[in-house]
Amino acid sequence: MGYIKGIDISNNDGQVDFSKIANDGVQYVYLKATEGKSFKDSYMDGFYNGAKAQGLKLGSYHFLVGTSSPEEQAQNFYIKIKDYSWDLVPMMDIETNFDGLSDYVVRFINAFKQLSPLQLGIYSYTGFIDYISDISETIKGMPFWEANYNNNPWSLKDNFFTNRIGHQYTETGVISGVNCNCDVNSFTEGVLLNNTSKSGQWITNDKGQWWYKHDDGSYTTNGWEYINGKWYMFDSQGWMLYDWKQDGNGYWYYLGDSQDGSMKSGWLLKNSKWFYLADNGQMLVGWQKIKNNWYYFYEDGTMAVGWFKDTKGNSYLTYSTGELITNIDIYRYHFDKDGHPNKL
| Confidence (pLDDT) at 1 | 44
pLDDT in tens, 26-50: 999 999 999 999 999 999 999 999 9
What pLDDT, on the 0 to 100 scale, is given for residue 209?
95
What are 130-150's pLDDT values in tens digits? 999 999 999 999 999 999 999
pTM over the 0.85 mark: no
pLDDT in tens, the chain (344 residues): 468 999 999 999 988 999 999 999 999 999 999 999 999 999 999 999 999 999 999 999 999 999 999 999 999 999 999 989 899 999 999 999 999 999 999 999 999 988 887 889 999 999 999 999 999 999 999 999 999 999 999 999 999 998 899 999 999 999 999 999 999 999 998 899 865 567 799 999 999 999 999 888 888 888 888 787 788 999 999 999 999 999 876 889 999 999 999 999 999 999 999 999 987 788 999 999 999 999 999 999 999 999 999 999 999 999 999 999 999 999 999 999 999 999 99
Rounded-to-integer distance, Cα 210 and Cα 200, Å: 13
Contact 6, 186 (CB under 8 A): yes
Helix (H), strand (E) at residue 137: helix 136-139
The alpha carbon of residue 192 and the mean position of all alpha carbons in its chain are separated, in whole angstroms, by: 12
Q: What is the pLDDT of residue 215?
A: 87
Please give the Cα distance from 333 to 247 (Å, whole number). Answer: 42
The pLDDT value recorded for residue 102 is 98
Sign of the C-alpha dihedral computed for residues 170, 50, 190 and 254 taken in this order: positive
CB 295 within 8 A of CB 311: no
Residues 142 and 120 sit within 8 Å (Cβ to Cβ): yes
CA dist., res. 96 & res. 101, Å (int): 8
